[in-house]
C-alpha cells in the first residue's frame, strides 16, 4: 500500500515537526483537514526517513505496546506487538512480516520536516 492510499495522507508541503526533534525514532500524528495520519520519523546515517506508523501485519502502530522501536544494533525498526523487523533505511520487512512499512517522502525546509511530493 502506498502512503497516498491512506485517506488521511497529508498534502505535499504539510509541516510535520522541527527536524531537531528527530533523535532516533519519533512517533507522531500529523492532523490536517484530511484526518489524523500516524507517522514514524527516523534519523539514520543515510538521512531522515519517514514511514506510515502502521505495521503491515495488524495495522497497529509499531509503538502500540512499547516505545522502544529500534533494534539493539540500530538498523531495524521493531513492531512492539509481535517483534517483526523492518529495515530502517527502506522499511522493507526483514523478519516476521510479509511486507514492509510504507515510506513517506519528507524533506527538511528551514529546519522543519515537511511532506514531500
Ligand atoms: S503485529 Fe505488527 S508486525 Fe505483527
The CATH number for 56's domain is: 2.102.10.10
Can you give the residue range of the structural domain that contains 39? Answer: 3-115
Say whether pTM exceeds 0.85. yes
CA atoms of 80 and 70, how far apart (whole Å): 10
- Which residues does a 6 A CB cutoff place in the pocket of ligand 1? 55, 57-58, 60, 79, 81-82, 84, 97
Total number of domains constituting the chain: 1
DSSP label of 51: E
Q: What's the whole-number mean pLDDT along residues 56-76?
A: 92
Choose the residue to mutate in 38, 66, 81, 101 for probing ligand 1, maximizing ligand atoms within 8 Å of C-beta: 81
pLDDT-based confidence at residue 64 (cuts at 50, 70, 90): very high
Sign of the CA dihedral running 58, 37, 26, 117 = positive
Whether residue 43 contacts residue 21, with contact meaning beta carbons closer than 8 Å, is answered with: no
Closest-lying ligand 1 atom to the alpha carbon of residue 96:
3
Q: CA 29, 9, 42, 48: dihedral to nearest 10 degrees? A: -130
pLDDT-based confidence at residue 79 (cuts at 50, 70, 90): very high
pLDDT, one tens digit per residue, over 103-114 is: 999 999 999 999
Amino acid at each position: 500500500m502506498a502512503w497516498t492510499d491512506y485517506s488521511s495522507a497529508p498534502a505535499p508541503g504539510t509541516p510535520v515537526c522541527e527536524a531537531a526533534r528527530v533523535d532516533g525514532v519519533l512517533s507522531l500524528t500529523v492532523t490536517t483537514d484530511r484526518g489524523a495520519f500516524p507517522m514514524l520519523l527516523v534519523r539514520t546515517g543515510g538521512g531522515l526517513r519517514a514511514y506510515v506508523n502502521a505495521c503491515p501485519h495488524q495495522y497497529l502502530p509499531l509503538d502500540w505496546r512499547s516505545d522502544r522501536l529500534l533494534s539493539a544494533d540500530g538498523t531495524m525498526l521493531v513492531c512492539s506487538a509481535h517483534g517483526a523487523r523492518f529495515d530502517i533505511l527502506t522499511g522493507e520487512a526483514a523478519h516476521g512480516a510479509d511486507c514492509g512499512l510504507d515510506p513517506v517522502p519528507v524533506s527538511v525546509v528551514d529546519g522543519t520536516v515537511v511532506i514531500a511530493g
